[in-house]
Amino acid sequence: MKKTITLMTVCFLLVTSVFAQDRNCSSMENLEYRMQQDPNLAQRMAQIETYTQNKIQSMQQDRIDGSIITIPVVVHVLYRTSQENISDAQILSQIQVLNDDFRRMNADADNTWSQAADTEIQFCMATVDPNGNPTNGITRKSTNKTSWGTNDAMKKSSQGGVDPWDTSQYLNMWVCNIGGGILGYAQFPGGSAATDGVVMGPNYFGSVNGGSGFYLSAPFNLGRTTTHEVGHFLNLRHIWGDGGCSVDDFVSDTPTSDGANYGCATSHVSCGTTDMVQNYMDYSDDACMNLYTQGQRDRMRAVLLPGGVRASLGASTKCDGGGSTPTCSDGIQNGDETGVDCGGSSCAPCQTACNDNDVNLSITFDNYPEETAWTLTNSGGQTVASGGTYGSQPDGSTYTESLCLPDGCYTFTITDAYGDGICCAYGNGSYSLTDSSGVLASGGSFSSSDVTDFCLGSSPAPTCTDGVQNGDETGIDCGGSSCAPCSTPGTTILSEGYFESGWDGWSDGGSDCARYSGSNSYENNYSIRLRDNSGVASAMTSPSLNLTGFDQVEIEFYFYAVSMENGEDFWVRYYNGSSWSTVAAYARGTSFNNNTFYTATVSLNASEVNFASNSQFRFQCDASGNNDQIYIDQVTIRGINGSGKVDSIRALGASEPDSVFESEEDFVIYPNPVKGSTLFVKLPNGVDSSFRIINMLGQTMMQGDSVKEINVSNLKSGMYFIEVNDGDETLTKKFIKQ
């Protein structure tokens, strides 16, 4: 199967053994992973935290404002067995638990903790879907998957799951067998809208107190897994802050703790005080949990009230019909109207007669319909129709749709999420867009996307001097003599190879090419090792790329050489649609030395090289046959319109005169993750530097004056930052302590 990488903050609740089930969470480690994938996430979460703290301060004078926030819920059930297809009654029992727990109406509430509070937050099953149709707030989908894992596949129809309903209006809950003993996970505020929500296993969703015959597993059979995960969704951390006594959870009225509590250890003392074992954000058994605090209440409401990051969810009306009843004259696309207010007296559906141009779309899928999507935009750049992805369609099936379009000029774009088109590596897919005059667009063999401009009716063909934004012009009339398309200044990433979870679309040449894990990889664990001079067997080859329409293409990569002898080299080769040629060569002793990380960039120009729709790149080792090795990592191929980079090669660690380092790439840390006790740091020219190690909450865990070898054995497992400072500048890298 093809694989994709997701960027999601998760909190795992693991069953550590068959006989002794304990909760165990890796939320901070996974939060760090997401931050690696999404460099803007840390900044967004920092902004949310600043807002939250300020909002809480303003709430102090008006704690009990009497306003009840109601959150609409949609539950997506993905099931393989009849047990996993949990009943409506079991689902409703979970909603009841949420309401009881959040409103402090739970039967097991006691007076152990005086700060226990009614959060004034409640939940309801959605009564209207995103199209305005009535719903019971439950969707069901049969699947043959035995387990879903934690890569958010259940949230994507392209991977056999169910796409979320509008996450600004609904709290999406996916109930499925996650596998690996995992109870559930949640996304913190600030993450992608495409993956927002919570996920729970079917046997941990609901309460035995809500009925009989439910599929539930003790001791997590009272619905508190979902209460815990919704707490994360609303910006709560674990009560021990995922650290020791010096780390907090951003809530002032939860006692500081040095770690998680399991079972029901209500008398446990740490950090000089009794732990709040009964808090929903600890790891206690369901029967032991019974409260949120006033401080936690304020923190959750801060993100839901006006100004908060989840304010639209807090104001959603999807439990009361979502507002007025949709009509065919309300200016909104309702139900299955093909356009806004298509006419007629009923929207169930509107009866549309096409008085303009009748355009027919036909897509025959390859073996992965879940990767295919398309959009149709007008000359103003507005989307007038779209579709996909098509995870529910059978492999190799054909999908058709009729479009009624007024006269004008349009851009049709079809995309493949994996970057290999719909023909011919994994099936024989194709597409066509036709009207009464013939074929407007067609194809099937492309990489990530295929784009076609066309006009209908009496409209003149778009030009770059018509005063209209046409096709992919970045502004009105970007210049030039043709808009098919106008060259768009900017950069498009065509392929990225990090090789952490597989080959990322690159192909294994043969016996002298292999995916490698170890310290010779520049980025994280994995890279591709090439050796000797066995021709294609000593090579790795990129997926097919559509380079037409670009002025320049560059391939940037990192490499590390071992045992290469003087003059031995490796090549970057290019396929122009008909033949291969070498576009760059790197020789030991001239371009590089062994046992040093390098970064290099190769640029090709359309004026000098043919850019084809099926272009490819290849790395090939041409050393002697005595185990000479090149490790290739972090390969990025970019299409550029306008001027781009020039060819370059640079040893990581080399620096300009009078400067210790000039960028974050000028110091190297290894191994990463750290599996032993020592983190090694390489700085340019062997210089030393002071350092500081910081946890995810910004707290200093270690610091010192010598950075070359750092004993990190006292750090707990998790993600950290290391800062180095040369007296003028501070640079930061992330690492994982296992």
Burial 518-528 (b: 16+ CB within 10 A, else e): eebbbebbbbb
Residue 595, token pair as written in the block: 């046992």
Contact (Cβ atoms closer than 8 angstroms) between residue 338 and residue 352: yes
Q: Which of 29, 32, 84, 229 is catalytic?
A: 229
Provide the residue type at 109 as one letter.
A
CA 331, CA 323: separation in Å to the nearest integer? 14
CA 464, CA 484: separation in Å to the nearest integer? 9
Residue 578, token pair as written in the block: 């008909």
Q: Which of 512, 670, 651, 664 is nearest to 594 (CA)?
A: 651
Measured from the Cβ of residue 284, the count of other Cβ atoms closer than 10 Å reads 27
Which residue is associated with the tokens 């329409």?
Answer: 549
Question: How are beta strands 526-531 and 513-517 bridged, if at all?
Answer: antiparallel
Which residue is associated with the tokens 């209006």?
Answer: 169
Contact (Cβ atoms closer than 8 angstroms) between residue 604 and residue 552: yes
Question: How are beta strands 430-435 and 438-443 bridged, if at all?
Answer: antiparallel
Q: Which of 193, 189, 213 is nearest to 203 (CA)?
A: 213
CA 379, CA 411: separation in Å to the nearest integer? 8
Edge-to-edge order in the sheet of strand 718-725: 700-704, 690-694, 718-725, 730-737
Give the DSSP letter of residue 134: B
- 229 carries an active-site annotation: yes
CA 266, CA 285: separation in Å to the nearest integer? 11
CA 162, CA 77: separation in Å to the nearest integer? 9
CA 270, CA 601: separation in Å to the nearest integer? 54
The alpha carbon dihedral of 645, 646, 649, 651 has a sign of: negative
CA 614, CA 735: separation in Å to the nearest integer? 38
Q: Phi first, then psi: give them for residue 155, nearest 5 degrees.
A: -95, 5
Angle formed at CA 662 by CA 660 and CA 665, multiple of 5 degrees: 105
Where would I find the H helices in 69-203? 88-102
Q: Which of 89, 66, 69 is nearest to 77 (CA)?
A: 89
CA 360, CA 260: separation in Å to the nearest integer? 59
Where would I find the H helices in 335-412? none
Burial of 335 (0-12, 13-18, 19+ CB in 10 A): middle
Burial 450-473 (b: 16+ CB within 10 A, else e): bbbbbbbeeeeebbbeeebbbbbb
Contact (Cβ atoms closer than 8 angstroms) between residue 532 and residue 609: no
Burial of 595 (0-12, 13-18, 19+ CB in 10 A): exposed
Measured from the Cβ of residue 634, the count of other Cβ atoms closer than 10 Å reads 18
Residue 718's DSSP bridge partners are 737
Provide the residue type at 727 as one letter.
G
Which residue is associated with the tokens 């009230």?
Answer: 305
CA 38, CA 209: separation in Å to the nearest integer? 41
Where would I find the H helices in 257-293? none
Contact (Cβ atoms closer than 8 angstroms) between residue 533 and residue 624: yes
Those residues whose C-beta lies under 8 Å from the C-beta of residue 591, and which sit 6 or more positions away, are 569, 585, 649
Cα separation of the two ends of the chain:
29
The residues annotated as belonging to the active site are: 229
